[in-house]
Amino acid sequence: MNMRWYSALILLALAAAPSHAFTPPTQDIARLASSADQVVMGTLSVGDALPGQPRDIVIHVDQVLASRDGNAPRELAFRRPASVNTDLSIRPGAHGVFFLKRLSGAAWEPATDSLPALVTVAATADLATASVDERIVQALQDTLAADDAALNAAAGLPGRADPGLAEVTRRAARRALEGMPPGLALTAFERVAASSLQPARLAAIAGLVHLGDFSALPGLVGPMRDPSMPEREGLREIARELSSAAPVEARRVAALALVPSHDARIRESALEVLRDQATAEDAGLLRACLSDAERGVRFNAVQALARLQGAPQYGVAYYGANEAALLAQWREAGAAR
């Protein structure tokens, strides 16, 4: 992608996404699968127990995705301390992919300290001839492409109309897919990016950007500019990925173009970028920002000018107590040059 497209999209990225937006870490699902004795797809149920006593966990198996001993059980059960059951990564009644280790005989335990699981929709095909990585990728692809109702049912809440919950499940599937072998993940994301379901399409494009494929982005410039666009969260996910994936110079160019914005949030986001990436040729613009009505803009302009002059950075508390003097100091420094 050329600088023009990068800059246009990062302008929108800075405006669309909070500066410190949280993105869940990418899970290394492929490594987890290779270390498990059994990888299955099924539905989770948790038995009743008195407080402090062990509870039974049962997985009702749809498909065995990988098995070291070649067995294909229809049900897997094990017991876990009640203190750990509160930390299940998947709620009872949910459908997903589970990773287990064999203890002895028919005894099982989770492959890690917490029950590692991926919420997924039920398989759309028999994946018996595929590798374990291909089977997991297919399950994640199906989940990424599913609508909100199917995602909420997979999460153990059938009939619940909650786009926010569905987005959490969709995002988790995307992040898990990013942790799979890149060739398989890219193919899966490309397939979902062709979907007519907008939330699925946007999630897939965010995954492509994360993996360094920007080919689908030019067509999003229009939707990202439209404040009435219904899938703003999906666009913000793309914006966050783009902000971290794009070259430094592209971020600087985009930020410089945003400084004249009438929106204080946009100006402040732009100055946060310039605080660390402005060059000497930007000094005049930074000095003009010392008179901005937004305190965050003034603060970051001072920090950027100090960095360019090799001066120490100022703490927030120090700046707050000495703002007038610091603003005067850096205006005078510019006038003396």
Instruction: Say yes or no: 60 and 113 in one domain.
Output: yes
End-of-domain residue from the set 58, 91, 123: 123
pLDDT tens per residue, range 290-310? 999 999 999 999 999 999 999
Residue 151, in any domain of the structure: no
Residue 165, in any domain of the structure: no
Instruction: Say yes or no: 256 and 313 in one domain.
Output: yes
> Which region among 62-66, 109-113, 134-138, 282-286 has the lowest average model confidence (pLDDT)?
109-113
Residue 41, in any domain of the structure: yes
Instruction: Say yes or no: 234 and 256 in one domain.
Output: no
Residue 99, in any domain of the structure: yes
Instruction: Say yes or no: 235 and 258 in one domain.
Output: no
pLDDT tens per residue, range 181-210? 999 999 999 999 999 898 999 999 989 988
Residue 191, in any domain of the structure: yes
pLDDT tens per residue, range 19-68? 443 344 455 787 888 888 889 999 988 765 555 555 578 889 998 888 88
Instruction: Say yes or no: 231 and 256 in one domain.
Output: no
> CA distances (Å), 177 to each of 89, 120, 168, 213, 233, in order?
17, 12, 14, 15, 19
| Residue-level pLDDT at 293 | 94
Instruction: Say yes or no: 294 and 230 in one domain.
Output: no
End-of-domain residue from the set 75, 92, 123: 123
Instruction: Say yes or no: 227 and 260 in one domain.
Output: no
| Residue-level pLDDT at 49 | 53
| Residue-level pLDDT at 303 | 95
Instruction: Say yes or no: 221 and 305 in one domain.
Output: no
Domain count, the chain: 3
Q: Packing angle between helix 182-193 and helix 198-210, nearest 10 degrees?
A: 150
CATH code at 71? Answer: 2.40.50.120
Residue 131, in any domain of the structure: no
Instruction: Say yes or no: 263 and 241 in one domain.
Output: no
Instruction: Say yes or no: 114 and 57 in one domain.
Output: yes
Instruction: Say yes or no: 194 and 215 in one domain.
Output: yes
Pick the more confident residue, 247 or 86: 247
Residue 98, in any domain of the structure: yes
End-of-domain residue from the set 83, 99, 123: 123
Domain extent, residue 87, equals 29-123
Instruction: Say yes or no: 254 and 196 in one domain.
Output: no
Residue 148, in any domain of the structure: no
